């Protein structure tokens, strides 16, 4: 499987701090049993980054629906 890089994720969420928040929140959801949106045999954090790079997950800011 192709390696995921932070640069791939930064193309989707350009702010690195927001990227960390999005990946952490999604990883926590995956740990609690959320269904993965991409196929991966990796741990939850890597799965979260793969989902972000594949634009399956986005970060909603406060006040956005």
How many domains, the chain?
1
Position 2 scores a pLDDT of 64
Task: State the average pLDDT over residues 2-28.
Answer: 92
Residue 63: inside a domain: no
The CATH number covering residue 25 comes to 3.90.940.10
* Residue 1 within a domain: no
On whether the CB atoms of residues 54 and 38 are closer than 8 A, the answer is yes
Query: Is 28 contained in some domain?
Result: yes
Using CA atoms, how far apart are residues 55 and 20, in angstroms rounded to an integer? 15
Judge whether residue 35 has pLDDT over 90. Answer: yes
- Domain of 36, in residue numbers: 6-53
32 φ, ψ (degrees, to nearest 5): -85, 0
Mean pLDDT of the 5-26 span? 94
């Amino acid at each position: 499987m192709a390696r995921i890089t932070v640069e791939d994720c930064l193309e989707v969420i350009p702010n690195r701090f927001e990227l960390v928040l999005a990946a952490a929140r999604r990883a926590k959801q995956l740990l609690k049993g959320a269904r993965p949106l991409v196929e991966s045999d990796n741990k939850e954090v890597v799965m979260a980054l793969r989902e972000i790079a594949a634009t399956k997950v986005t970060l909603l800011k406060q006040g956005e629906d």
